[in-house]
Structure 1
Amino acid sequence: MHGSPDCELSSRSEAMAPNINSTLPLLLLFLLFTLHLSSVSAWKKEEFRTCNQTPFCKRARSRKPHSSSLFATDVAILNGALTANLRQPPPESPDQDQIKPLLFTLSVYQNGVVRVKIDEDPSLGPPKKRFEVPDVILPEFESTKLWLQRFQTETVDGDSGPSSVVHVADGYEAVLRHNPFEVYVREKQGKRRVLSLNSHGLFDFEQLRVKQEGDDWEERFKGHTDVRPYGPQSISFDVSFFDADFVYGIPEHASSFALRPTRGPGVDDSEPYRLFNLDVFEFIHDSPFGLYGSIPFMLGHGKARGTSGFFWLNAAEMQIDVLGSGWDAESGILLPESGSRIDTLWMSEAGIVDTFFFIGPGPKDVVRQYTSVTGMPAMPQLFSTAYHQCRWNYRDEEDVENIDSKFDEHDIPYDVLWLDIEHTDGKRYFTWDRVLFPNPEQMQNKLAAKGRHMVTIVDPHIKRDESFHLHKEATSKGYYVKDATGKDYDGWCWPGSSSYLDMLNPEIRSWWSEKFSLKHYVGSTPWLYIWNDMNEPSVFNGPEVTMPRDALHYGGVEHRELHNAYGYYFHMATSDGLVKRGDGKDRPFVLSRAFFSGSQRHGAVWTGDNTADWDQLRVSVPMILTLGLTGMTFSGADVGGYFGNPETELLVRWYQLGAYYPFFRAHAHQDTKRREPWLFGDRNTELMRDAIHTRYALLPYFYTLFREANTSGVPVMRPLWMEFPSDKATFSNDEAFMVGNSLLVQGIYTERAKYASVYLPGGQSWYDLRTGIIYKGGTTHKLEVSEETIPAFHRAGTIIPRKDRYRRSSTQMANDPYTLVIALNSSHAAEGELYIDNGKSFEFKQGAYIHRHFVFSDGKVTSSSLVPKASKTLFSSACVIERIIVLGHSSGPKKALIEPSNRKAEIEVGPLWLQRGKSAPVLTIRRPNVPVADDWTIKIL
């Protein structure tokens, strides 16, 4: 939805209400937080901390290379893992404290995953147990652990003592270097390193302490005080990616896809990449500043070796430097003589070291390895992969009915209509304003009659109103987050005075999930789905517009320790609620603004409060690519820009690009002008309709890709180098992207563009998606740009399924026939897949689906099943394939023979159905009408 009402409001609230005990008159506060201001001001940088204003970040950045004096002792195999104590030399002065040893554990898992944990030793009496993030790692991941039986010793890098070496996977091994302490994974042959931790000796681990007289641990920012009862507890270390040309990942930032250096020669006082979930109002592009979500997972990729990955399971604030070549040359650090290497510095305020090394070697291998730890993306309902229409706010039931009918009047399909906070009774979630929405069930049922759905918003802040049943129950049960004194935390958000549920507690998550039942959510229907916003959490009068770090959660955990996972637990509980509502039968749909590693298991996310300008259109691509690369494949950006009034050309271009986002939703702030697709003249309505029609035609392809993501972790929307990992020209290209392995899309990011430069990777040809005209790969093409479409290309050697009949919604397309578009390569061959299930239930997990493999070779196209042969037929479809279009086939054939039915089908040569203007001729097999679920062969005669 939206951040704080505007930045002026955020700063005013902070100045006027510096803490929850403010004595401001309640009337003034009420007016402050309920007025809808008409002006919108840009993000104010001074409202948020820089690294220099964040003590743990400032300390870590000041450390010199090789300042870590840790060494490993007592190395052994225990419980199938390599263990050790990490010690420091005795202090030089009796006035210095002896640092207690740390516990080190290295475990190896199947498929090339290495896990390294470092924590305080509980037997040595730390004042409390450090927080380990629960419910992120899959329980079944532990079953893939390879129980180590032994380790070898070896002298490495000219050390005076030994190092310990264990087998990881074919061709790879992990090394614990004893003195100086370092951990790395290397190739067995040639001993080339892949990933390392602490190769530059920047490791630091601040241990918890008991406060003594005279200790001043408090931190202050913008009138807020953090008491820090256990003192500084940060952790930092360096991680190196060997043979990497670029690094990627660590969303969420509005910056380039390939992460630029933040320190080093030529870098002017850049901030580190910040991972700290924040409600950032009208964020700016090209910035390392943290936004709404955090995934501490980074990938390195290079032509020489391939891809590797590193993940730190830690939900505290994190800052990450990408260190440019020569970043500290005066200290004697030199890059390897051969190969490339990218060094990074990881800094976190709290938690433990719980890190994962992914050895790849390909980009899809690394993504599979990461999602084997944190979970595969959920399989969405089919309707949710179609077009969504949203605004803050559709006013009332009459407005909803009018919007719905206008889509039909203008022949524009859509599947979901959204309601923002104004639909509630006084910002009380699970309620309806019965003046504006007197018959919510009837309203939803009218939409459902056309196969459409509704989404309403449910945020984590609960209005502190003694007449509100949800607040009364949460208070009586003690379910709210506490402040540092142990009282229910009271912050300010849309309802005014609010409290926040402690979603770390599984009991509270279970209680919350029950609230989505039709019994409890009065006015809801089975066609209603949910939107979680403001769940960073957003607190208008809190430090940096969020919850204080010393607030207390379940088990005495400080908010600082779990901050980045708060929205994740809220998303999880809401998703579970929708599953419970349907008795476990139907898949949920929940959109969340905040996210963390593992959020991909629970629903979709979007990039937040963007703005209607060309730069924001452009940055949407690297933002979504990064989310997909780190597990969150079901993601998108607000089409048109949330803030501001887009010029018509920008809006059209955004629809044309957004049609290829995995999550396709138009959304706008309440202060913007209405911008539904029919409001900009007949020609522009036609262009936006065409863009939406393109998405609906491609829904079978998108749904098949979502199933691929669900089984492999490989994202729907991919960087070019994921499909072309050796093509260096793709490594820093974030203006174009792949949809699956078959479509390449190039956005148009400037107004009145006449030409676009499009790089098409080598090794095969590419067919223009609209015209069928063929282009050579391995070169950059300067192409004329029309208003009708953005450049999109079908990769030679692939087959795309689609549906060419337009209905009001995807639900009404369920029984429509399919079209196959076959793009032949130089060998006159191609292949592709089609996945079908009932589009809504979990029955696919029991084998209730159709999965077809199409192959064109030797002049014939063949359909075969990818469902395991032992599986029973639990799902069937009466759909047929009514058209097969073959790109790149020479003209001449007149007939096609269909086997095993021994029928003939007509063939014609003509332009593509989508063409406008010039078009290459294509061969079309008309009305073969072969069942989509059957084995068959069609031979061109």
Structure 2
Amino acid sequence: MKKSDKIIALESNSDYIHITTGGSQLRVYLVDDDTIRFRCTFDEEFAPEHSYALVKTAWEDDLDELFANERTRVTPIAPNVEETDDYYVTRTAKLEIRLTKDPFGIEIYDTDGNLLYKDLKERTFMEDSHGRRYHYSVINAGDHFYGFGEKTGKLNKRLQYLRMHNTDTCGHDAELSDPLYKHIPFYVRFNDHTRKAIGVFYNNPFDSAFDLGREWSGYWDKYSFYCTDGGDVDMFFINGPTIPEVVERYTDLTGKTALPPLGNTGYTHTTMFYTELEKDVDKAILEFVDRCKANDIPFDMFGMASGYTCMPNGKRYQFHWNSAKFPDPAAFMAEMKKRGVAVTPNVKPGILTTHPDYDEFADAGAFVKDETGKKPESERYWGGFAGFPDFTSKAGREIWERHMTEALLDNGIEGIWDDNCEFDIQNADAVVDGDGRPTTVEGMKPVLGNMMAYTANHALTQARPNTRPFIISRAGFAGIQRYAQTWAGDNYTCWKTLKYNIPTILNMGLSGAANHGCDIGGWFGPAPEPELLVRWFQEGVFMPRFMTNSSNTDNSVTEPFMYPNYTPYISRAVKLRYALAPTMYSLLREASVKGSPVMRPLVYEFPNDPNCWDESFEFMFGPNILVANVTDPGATEKSVYLPAGTDWYDFRSKKRYEGGQTISVPVDLDTIPMFLRAGAIVPMTDGVTNLHTQTIDHLTLLVEPSAAGSFTLYEDDGETNDYKGGKYLATTFEIAPGAAANPYSTDGENNAGTFPASDESHEVTVIRATCDGSYASRVERVEMDVFTHNVQPFTVAMSGPSGERFIEKFFDPAKWEAADEGWLYDMETRTTRIKYANPSGDYEIRVNYAINDLVKM
């Protein structure tokens, strides 16, 4: 046993602090004011820096050239170390880091003296006799643990033991199974006493485990620990103090979610069933697309399962089309494109030993090698034994990319679906190249998943330089979000899965992977019953990955129209997803810039409400919509908790509820309980059924104006990378309610610019639109539905690039519908409906609620 028992020596230079303890060495980097790196090794020397996860570094790394287009090198803060009797201390503008001498331990405080983090001294860093390495930290009363990537069970992981190991968990239990497909050793710790959050990321792809207070000892403070099977304990402490700030800073380190093409945010379908047909698979898929249209189901993307590579001998030969199933792949792709449907074929890394190209891969040195480092490692796979391309080698990436391009991209494919990419190679001593630094596969399995997605990304970019690449991946390590949309693998068809998939997605979002989802309808098991299928579609409305997928055990195939009497419910759910397309795309853009989740746990938005800290099944869709999906069969009512600190408004009825209470709402099979928070702005559209071929040329903005609020609507061409050069339009809508909303008032009076108003009223609500970017919006007309609770507006005015004017009021709904511009008060829904041509540039809508006193007139 080796321990970091006490500090023997400490040296400081301009880049880092070097610490020698009785059993280890440490380096402390002040990456920036909020991010501190603690790297501990029990080896005689530190291994060279060699990270596949990081895109932000403050040191030279072997892979800087490989990731030159992704990685940013920052200058670390030069540590100024002071010594006291008990500890050394160094500071950033936000943090104080104390390194206690004997026993050694790390303590981190904020500038107000609040303790944010503390090691369990005497057990801080350890190595056992088997080479496993540990890091122990103190758990405080009120600590909640979120994140950890793709995990089953409830949101808060306190008192759980979690493993990090990529594996194929077909038909897993959504509440209890562990591990799953992803390996993301990052968590957010939120303390409900201080209301402060921190993040901890261990940059190490070896199999590892977290104990979050499950282990208990009367001799120690309550503690958690991280244990890794190998490699250094390379810990990044990330300051908040809020959960959103932690997630943003973590994704600064490992990368933001890739912005997908707009069209690929629509409804997607796949199943193993079609491609397993003996012939005419192309016709079966085209027929499905046409049936969607006939059944009024909007549709945009088809995931083509691996059966297209399955030959008459039953073997799947990657990058080889079965000609009986697809006699002309290019012609099939052209037909799909005519229908506005993108195709993402399933790609698996295993190359069977009987594969016609196996020898070519082997001769190129493209496979993971056995322990001798000379022969390809052979492992059990679908259809027999197979070799696995080594995506940490140039040879592996190049041959894979060439075959992918010739077989798929040259036939019109524009997206890739990486599947079965856990690289669950049993021989831990098998060898990978490691991009010039050979090592055993034991500590590189999740990296191979990332680099497989990296290779697909590179191939698509090379084939179509200005077309936005789109990749889906089932497995990977921290940073997989830079390349791929992800999903939680082969879930089981049952009501429990429907429910527990929600916190799985929420924790993936907190772990940097915002573009995530779970198979709608369940992948494994019997066909979903009709009610369950409807509820799954309703839940899928809010998942960034909105896909049905199935390999049912009763010879059925899950389709949106499999129960004709229930198809209208499913059609309406899919149409709601398309109505929310402007919001979904804007949230994915936010994820690509700030790392923010799309589906957010309530604690993310409401950290001061105790009822939100561990809520696992209600969630926020972006900042403004609370969703409480029905997840129980036969429900006629739904209990919904509305967070405190804001009012809430039923999405359909506009009924107001005070926050901080649990309400019961009636539900039927058509109901998705949704509530808008006060100050919400929600961009929507209607009539769009295909995001590839149709233009979002009109918007409806739902506006709840009783509190200040904002939302940024994002637009670009939806297909190219031109947005990276500034060709986008980000329009930030802001609500300034009441007198404070009046930018023209200087004396407290309601002098709204050149527009006359009652001197007795201060009730002018201003909705401002501020534009950023050079993209010319394709939105031609805008309708703004402003919730109005007590008093109807007196006037509505607009100022913008074309000047200032009152907007005409209509009393007849038919005349308002026929007009290009005007406003109307809808008494039934108590909304002020304003419509106008979309201005080119910044503008304001001013809604004046001054009372028109007819008696005094």
Residue aligning to 2:681:
799
Does residue 196 of structure 2 align to residue 196 of structure 1? Answer: no
Does residue 273 of structure 2 align to residue 390 of structure 1? Answer: no
Q: 1:168 aligns with which of 86, 92, 109?
A: 92
Q: In the alignment, is the contact (CA less than 8 A) between 2:202 and 2:234 conserved in 1?
A: yes
Residue aligning to 2:769:
864
Residue aligning to 1:534:
420
What is the letter of the counterpart of residue 835 of structure 1? Y
Residue aligning to 1:35:
none
Q: In the alignment, is the contact (CA less than 8 A) between 2:421 and 2:474 conserved in 1?
A: yes
Aligned pairs (5 A) from 1:632-711: 632-644=513-525, 645-669=527-551, 671=553, 672-682=555-565, 684-711=566-593
Residue aligning to 2:836:
928
Does residue 736 of structure 2 align to residue 831 of structure 1? Answer: no
What is the letter of the counterpart of residue 369 of structure 2? K
- TM-fit CA distance, 1:398: 1.4
Q: 2:81 aligns with which of 151, 162, 168?
A: 151
Residue aligned with 1:347, SS: strand
Residue aligning to 2:748:
none
Distance 2:709 2:103 in 1: 54
Aligned pairs (5 A) from 1:127-526: 134-139=51-56, 143-155=73-85, 162-170=86-94, 172-190=95-113, 192-199=114-121, 201=123, 203-206=125-128, 232-242=130-140, 244-262=142-160, 272-287=161-176, 289-305=178-194, 306-324=196-214, 327-329=216-218, 331=219, 333-334=220-221, 343-395=223-275, 396-426=281-311, 427-465=316-354, 467-468=356-357, 471-486=358-373, 487-517=375-405, 519-521=406-408, 524-525=411-412
Deviates more, 1:250-259 or 1:659-668: 250-259
Aligned pairs (5 A) from 1:872-911: 873=774, 875-890=775-790, 892-893=792-793, 896-900=796-800, 901=802, 902=805, 904-906=807-809
Percent of matched pairs sharing the same residue: 26
**1:197 and 1:133, CA in 2 relative to 1: closer, same or farther beyond 3 A?**
farther
Does residue 475 of structure 2 align to residue 594 of structure 1? Answer: yes
Q: 1:845 aligns with which of 724, 728, 739?
A: 724
Q: 2:11 aligns with which of 65, 69, 76?
A: 76
Distance 2:680 2:355 in 1: 61
Residue aligning to 2:633:
751
What is the letter of the counterpart of residue 522 of structure 2? G
- TM-fit CA distance, 1:734: 0.6
Deviations 1:252-280 (A, max 9, x none): 32111101414xxxxxxxxx311111111
**1:200 and 1:73, CA in 2 relative to 1: closer, same or farther beyond 3 A?**
closer
What is the letter of the counterpart of residue 291 of structure 2? K
**1:836 and 1:905, CA in 2 relative to 1: closer, same or farther beyond 3 A?**
farther
What is the letter of the counterpart of residue 255 of structure 1? G
Residue aligned with 2:25, SS: strand
Deviates more, 1:111-120 or 1:622-631: 111-120
Residue aligning to 1:32:
none
**1:446 and 1:119, CA in 2 relative to 1: closer, same or farther beyond 3 A?**
same
- TM-fit CA distance, 1:79: 4.2
**1:759 and 1:441, CA in 2 relative to 1: closer, same or farther beyond 3 A?**
same
Q: In the alignment, is the contact (CA less than 8 A) between 2:104 and 2:124 conserved in 1?
A: no
Q: In the alignment, is the contact (CA less than 8 A) between 1:383 and 1:811 conserved in 2?
A: yes
Q: In the alignment, is the contact (CA less than 8 A) between 1:444 and 1:528 conserved in 2?
A: no
Q: In the alignment, is the contact (CA less than 8 A) between 1:132 and 1:314 conserved in 2?
A: no
Deviations 1:885-920 (A, max 9, x none): 112344534763333443634456999x9xxxx996
Q: In the alignment, is the contact (CA less than 8 A) between 1:249 and 1:630 conserved in 2?
A: yes
Distance 1:244 1:575 in 2: 42
Q: Where does structure 1 differ by over 4 angstroms across 4 or more consecutive aligned residues?
A: 120-123, 129-133, 139-142, 241-244, 905-911
Residue aligned with 1:323, SS: coil
Distance 2:399 2:87 in 1: 51
Distance 1:920 1:194 in 2: 51
**1:905 and 1:702, CA in 2 relative to 1: closer, same or farther beyond 3 A?**
farther
- TM-fit CA distance, 1:141: 5.6
Deviations 1:382-417 (A, max 9, x none): 112111011113240111111011111111111101
Residue aligned with 2:212, SS: strand
What is the letter of the counterpart of residue 756 of structure 1? K
Distance 1:108 1:907 in 2: 62
- TM-fit CA distance, 1:137: 0.8
Q: In the alignment, is the contact (CA less than 8 A) between 1:114 and 1:168 conserved in 2?
A: no
Distance 1:576 1:205 in 2: 39
Distance 1:676 1:910 in 2: 40
**1:254 and 1:720, CA in 2 relative to 1: closer, same or farther beyond 3 A?**
same
Residue aligned with 1:714, SS: coil
Residue aligning to 1:225:
none
- TM-fit CA distance, 1:513: 3.1
Q: 1:777 aligns with which of 656, 659, 662?
A: 659
Q: In the alignment, is the contact (CA less than 8 A) between 1:303 and 1:727 conserved in 2?
A: no
- TM-fit CA distance, 1:923: 2.1
TM-score normalised per structure 2:
0.87
- TM-fit CA distance, 1:139: 4.7
Deviations 1:310-334 (A, max 9, x none): 111111111111115x9212x2x24
Q: In the alignment, is the contact (CA less than 8 A) between 2:309 and 2:318 conserved in 1?
A: yes
Distance 1:907 1:109 in 2: 59
Deviations 1:556-607 (A, max 9, x none): 3111122232212212212222122212x12211111112100110111101
- TM-fit CA distance, 1:288: 5.7
- TM-fit CA distance, 1:877: 2.1
Q: In the alignment, is the contact (CA less than 8 A) between 1:905 and 1:925 conserved in 2?
A: no
Residue aligning to 1:106:
28
Residue aligning to 2:853:
none
- TM-fit CA distance, 1:805: 1.8
Distance 1:613 1:820 in 2: 36
What is the letter of the counterpart of residue 656 of structure 1? Q
Aligned pairs (5 A) from 1:549-564: 549-554=428-433, 555-564=437-446
Distance 2:169 2:106 in 1: 37
Distance 1:650 1:360 in 2: 39
Distance 1:149 1:665 in 2: 49
What is the total number of aligned residue pairs between the two structures? Answer: 780
Residue aligned with 1:298, SS: strand
Aligned pairs (5 A) from 1:112-123: 112-120=34-42, 122=44
Distance 1:476 1:507 in 2: 10
What is the letter of the counterpart of residue 864 of structure 1? A
What is the letter of the counterpart of residue 318 of structure 1? S
Residue aligning to 1:216:
none
**1:317 and 1:919, CA in 2 relative to 1: closer, same or farther beyond 3 A?**
farther
Distance 2:409 2:615 in 1: 49
Q: In the alignment, is the contact (CA less than 8 A) between 1:251 and 1:275 conserved in 2?
A: no
Residue aligning to 1:42:
none
Q: In the alignment, is the contact (CA less than 8 A) between 2:709 and 2:735 conserved in 1?
A: yes
- TM-fit CA distance, 1:299: 1.2
Deviations 1:819-876 (A, max 9, x none): 1110122x5x543221101112111111110011112334455443342xxx6x3x21
Q: In the alignment, is the contact (CA less than 8 A) between 2:139 and 2:221 conserved in 1?
A: no
Residue aligning to 2:504:
623
Distance 1:567 1:419 in 2: 20
Gaps of 5+ in 2: 60-72, 276-280, 739-763, 818-825, 849-857
What is the letter of the counterpart of residue 185 of structure 2? P
- TM-fit CA distance, 1:107: 0.6
